[in-house]
Each structure stands twice: as C-alpha cells, then as structure tokens.
C-alpha cells in the first residue's frame, strides 16, 4: 500500500471568540409583545369579570323582580279573597270594622314596598311578613263573617217568627177593632133617641100676654111644638142635640139664619137645612117631654106644616099641623 506524503495545510491563525451582535429592534419588540399580551390578557380578564358582575347583577335583578312578582301575586290573591268576603251579606259589627282598618293599613304598606323600583331584600322580606300577617287577618275576618252570617240566620228566623206573631196580633187586633167598631156603631145607633106623641098648636097671642089656640092661619102668631123623647137605656145622660125642620105648606123649609137656622149632615151623607137647633139635657132610661115655640116674622100660610126632628144624624119623629082659612068674621 502506498502512502503519499502531502504537505501539511497551512494552519490558519486563530482569532479570539466574539459574541454575536444584538439587534436593537429585537430588544424593543419583545417587551412590546409581552406588554401587548399582558394588556390583552387584562382586557380579556376584565371583560370576563365585568360579564360575571353583569350576570350576577342580572341574576340579582331577576331574583328581585321574581320576588316582587311573587309578592304581588300573593297580595292580589289575598285581596281577592278579602273582597269576596266583604260582599257577603253579613251585618258588620265593631270587631269586623276594626279588622277592615287593619287589613287596609297592611295592604297600603305592602303596596308601598312593591311600588319601589329598588326595593331591598330587607324590604321584600318585610313585605312577605306583612302578606303572611294579612292572610292571617283575612282568615280571622272570614271566621268573624261566618259568625255574623250565623247570627243573621238566627235573627232572620226570629224576625220571621216575630213577624208572623205580629201579623197574627195585627189580624186579631183588626178583627177586634172591626167587632168593636161594629158594636160601637150598634151602640151609637142604639143610643139615638126616639120622638113620639107630637102635639103641634097654633097660638094666637092676645093683649096682656094671654094666649089662645087657633087653627086659622091668619090668627097664628107662633107654633108651639111638643113631643116625648122615649126612654133609652143605651144613650148616656147628658146634653143631646135635636135638629128641628119646619116645612111650610109650599114645601119650603122655614129657615131664618138670624133665628138660629143652619145646616147639618145626615147619616146618609145628605146635607139638610134645619129651622131650629135644640140642646136638651137627657137622662138615661127616662122619658121626657120637650116643648118649644117657633115664631116667624112673616104670616103663616094656609095648609100643612110638617115638623121633623133629627138626632144623631137620624130622623127620630115627625108631626103635622093643618092651618085653615079664617071664616067670615075670623
């Protein structure tokens, strides 16, 4: 094997080791990148935190709104039950009136809280407590109403009984009044006096106060009328009014207002003119004689004079006297 000898390579002079030169742009860029990354990281973290806070606030707001809605629903339910109870036909007493005021006050407090836009948890808790108390008051109110309804039923029944009894008493009273009125009417009618035994004379007045009976019309100065009032055991003793009607032969009632003539009404409702009114003092159960004179200002006529007597609205008797013309020397 052959070996060739080559001249050794020239050895290069050794140079000392030098560090690489640093680029200033690189030195600036790296911190900027790090700062930028940090900023992005902070922004991302801050947005995440803000989002969480917003979510928390939304959750809290939703919770508050949900709680307020719940409380509002509970209040409306309680109010409806209360309104239904108030329409019940039960007579109110002082107890139920006081409960009305208490319930109204609590409702006002609850509504005041629920109307707040930013009601706190403490206020909502207070509203819930008030609603619970309100429901208790309404239950008590319901119990009181039921008691009053029961009392009303009893009172209604008692009123019906009393009404029936009153109607019976009224009916009996009316019947009694009717009987009494009928009996009073009978007594009233029965107490009416009766006149009989009429005696009617024409009186000729002479000089010196002497009187002479006459049947001649032109001689008559006055008429003397007398009759008996028969005994009556029903009519009470005391003053009695007698209405005397004198009817002339021409059919006209003799009426002279200046001498006491006037009008009265009969039991049939007929208005009549009377010639003279007598007031006599009657004694119960006894017969008594009545006598009086009737004198008119004008001459008496020829014919029949009819005398009628009324008492208590009834005609109780009559008599007639005929006066004739005078003779040749009469």
pLDDT, tens digit, for every residue of 260-278? Answer: 999 999 999 999 999 999 9
Decide: residue 258, CB within 10 A, 0-12 exposed, 13-18 middle, 19+ buried: exposed
Neighbours of 3 (CB within 10 A): 5
Neighbours of 259 (CB within 10 A): 13
206/115: higher pLDDT: 206
Would you give the distance in Å from CA 289 to the centre of its chain? 62
pLDDT at position 51, please?
Answer: 66
SS3 115: coil
Predicted pLDDT at 199: 96
Asked whether residue 281 carries a pLDDT value surpassing 60, the answer given is yes
Answer yes or no: do 92 and 202 share one domain.
no
Q: Are residues 318 and 199 located together in one domain of the fold?
A: yes
Q: Which of 245, 241, 227, 244 is nearest to 287 (CA)?
A: 227
Pick 165 or 5 by higher pLDDT: 165
CATH number for the domain that contains residue 292: 2.60.40.10
Q: Are 330 and 210 in contact (CB under 8 A)?
A: no
| pLDDT per position as a tens digit, 118-140 | 878 888 888 888 888 878 888 87
Please report whether residue 183 resides in a domain.
no
pLDDT number for residue 275: 96
User: Quick one: which of 223, 199, 227 has its CA closest to 211?
Assistant: 223
Asked whether the whole model's pTM tops 0.75, one would answer no
> Where in the sequence is the domain holding 112, given as residue range(s)?
30-150
Q: Name the domain boundary from 122, 150, 178.
A: 150
Residue 237 reports pLDDT greater than 90: yes
Residue 69 lies in a domain: yes
Sign of the dihedral through C-alpha 135, 137, 139, 145: negative
Domain-terminating residue out of 84, 119, 150: 150
Residue 211: what pLDDT?
94
Q: Are residues 37 and 132 in the same domain?
A: yes
**Beta-sheet pairing, 271-274 with 262-265:** antiparallel
**Residue 145: helix, strand or coil by DSSP?**
helix
Residue 72 lies in a domain: yes
Torsion angle (degrees, nearest 10) of CA 225, 226, 231, 234: 20
pLDDT of residue 3: 47
Q: Which residues pair with 319 in a beta bridge?
A: 307
- CA–CA separation, 235 vs 281, rounded Å? 12
- The kind and range of the H/E element at 246 are strand 238-247
Exposure string for 18-49, b = 16+ CB within 10 A, e = fewer: eeeeeeeeeeeeeeeeeeeeeeeeeeeeeeee
Which residue, chain included where needed, has tokens 């013309």? 325
Inside any domain, residue 73 = yes
pLDDT at 319: 96
Tell me, what's the pLDDT at 26? Answer: 67
Share of the chain above pLDDT 70, in %: 80
Q: Are residues 213 and 127 in the same domain?
A: no
The answer to whether 130 touches 105, Cβ cutoff 8 Å, is no
For 49-75, what is each residue's pLDDT tens digit? 666 666 665 565 555 667 778 888 887
Find the largest Cα–Cα distance for the chain. 241
Q: Which residues contact 1 (CB under 8 A, 6 or more apart)?
A: none
Q: Does residue 251 belong to any structural domain of this protein?
A: yes
CA torsion angle 141 143 144 149 (round to 10): 120
Task: Flag whether 100 is in a domain.
Answer: yes
Spatial CA neighbour of 225 closest among 187, 185, 275: 275
Note whether residue 166 is domain-resident: no
CA pair distance 144, 209, nearest whole angstrom: 100
Shared domain for 210 and 135, answered yes or no, is: no
How many distinct structural domains can be found in the chain? 2
pLDDT of 20 strictly over 60: no
């Amino acid at each position: 094997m052959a070996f060739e000898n080559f001249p050794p390579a020239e050895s290069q002079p050794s140079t000392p080791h030098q560090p690489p030169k640093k680029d200033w742009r690189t030195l600036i860029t790296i911190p900027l990148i790090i700062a930028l990354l940090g900023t992005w990281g902070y922004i991302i973290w801050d947005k995440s935190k803000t989002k969480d806070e917003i979510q928390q606030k939304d959750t809290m707001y939703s919770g508050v709104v949900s709680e307020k809605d719940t409380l509002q629903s509970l209040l409306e339910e309680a109010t409806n039950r209360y309104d239904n109870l108030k329409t019940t036909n039960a007579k109110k007493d002082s107890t139920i009136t006081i409960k009305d005021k208490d319930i109204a006050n609590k409702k006002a407090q609850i509504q005041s809280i629920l109307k707040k836009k930013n009601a706190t948890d403490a206020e909502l808790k207070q509203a819930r407590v008030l609603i619970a108390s309100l429901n208790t008051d309404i239950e008590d109110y319901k119990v009181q109403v039921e008691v009053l309804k029961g009392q009303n039923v009893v009172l209604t029944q008692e009123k019906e009984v009393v009404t029936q009894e009153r109607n019976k008493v009224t009916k009996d009273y009316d019947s009694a009044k009717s009987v009494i009125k009928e009996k009073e009417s009978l007594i009233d009618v029965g107490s009416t006096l009766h006149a009989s035994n009429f005696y009617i004379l024409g009186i000729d007045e002479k000089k010196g106060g002497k009187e002479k009976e006459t049947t001649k019309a032109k001689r008559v100065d006055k008429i003397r009328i007398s009759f008996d009032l028969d005994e009556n055991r029903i009519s009470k003793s005391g003053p009695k009014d007698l209405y005397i009607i004198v009817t002339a032969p021409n059919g006209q009632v003799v009426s002279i207002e200046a001498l006491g003539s006037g009008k009265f009404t009969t039991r049939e409702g007929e208005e009549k003119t009377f010639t003279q009114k007598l007031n006599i003092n009657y004694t119960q159960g006894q017969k008594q004689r009545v006598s009086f004179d009737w004198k008119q200002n004008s001459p008496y006529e020829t014919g029949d004079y009819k005398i009628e007597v009324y008492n208590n609205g009834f005609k109780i008797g009559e008599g007639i006297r005929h006066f004739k013309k005078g003779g040749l020397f009469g």
